[in-house]
Structure 1
Amino acid sequence: MKHTISVLVEDEAGVLTRIAGLFARRGFNIESLAVGPAEKPGMSRITMVVPGDDSIIEQLTKQLYKQINVLKVQDITEVPCVERELMLLKVNATSATRSEIIELAQIFRARVVDVADDTLTLEVVGDPGKMVAIAQMLNRFGIREIARTGKVSLPRESGVNTEYLKAQSSLEARF
């Protein structure tokens, strides 16, 4: 199972290197990594997606707390969260296919951020599933390049679990 781990750290040189080293020494892969300033000056938030079962994640959490600059570690996998990712996608676009690509972009609420004679570059923001879906749809035109950020995530203060609501509405639609 993939777990989303949120780590609040002091913004000091080498913190990310020590955390990544901790994972590497234990043979764990980090599938997604996003780092940026947090809500207070001098703090950063690291959001990681890590494969592993609950006991492995618990062990990693304990190891993270032993790091000097780590302030808070939270496994937010089962917590209702707002999750987003950014993807830039450069796709082949001829004069014959350009309008169809733009229509698909609009369906996914993607923005065209660069136009060239033979390509379009799109900016897509949303949950990781949306990234996979638009890439699959645009694959037939020929994707030249993709750049994706790691997933960023914050717990929902409302406590509303939108993933649960999506699952429920999809079940209701079937019946």
Structure 2
Amino acid sequence: MKLSPESWSDLAAGKKAIRKRFRRVWDIPVIHKKQDPIRRELQSGMSLLDIGAGDGEFGRKVLLGLDGIEYLTMDVDPNQPQNFRSMDEVTGRHDCIMLMEVIEHLEMPAALDTLARIEKLLKDDGVLALSTPNIHNPALFMSDPTHCLFLNYESLGALLYMSGFEIQEIYRTYSASFLKRWSRRLATLLSGC
């Protein structure tokens, strides 16, 4: 499904297609480690481009124990070593591109432009792995003042359709450490301390 980025009705159609395919958010599988589905896609000899790589910590988790993967990074942060500083500098076509916790920092036109550029940087059978924070936890989402694009799974899926992507899988993630902290706080409240 290729949708036009100029039309809000296309966004609505994309959201409807996502709802039809994935139903309710509660029907989407939950995973603990978001690197696991990415690791399953990678094999020796492939290239992995990490857009918004930051310090590369997530990329190292993805690559842990995998050999023969060409790992390239792109980030605008001048304080971190990167292969590329802008999307304009990125060369080649890649087997897998990660855009982890980045798209929410872009306004809608820039997000669509970024996805269109990524689509051109992927090999024909390439995979885009993308994650964004849970907008249904406003305190967490709003704690970063650089977040400007609020996307639930339907809207994110619609943007991907609008950019020419075919969606294979959608996952929800959870943080066990967050759940442990929350349960400790709840236990403290219930105990009256």
TM-score by length of 1: 0.27
Larger radius of gyration: 1
- Which has the higher relative contact order, 1 or 2, with Cα contacts under 8 A spaced 6 or more apart? 2
Give the structure with the larger helix fraction. Answer: 2
Bigger proportion of residues as strand: 1
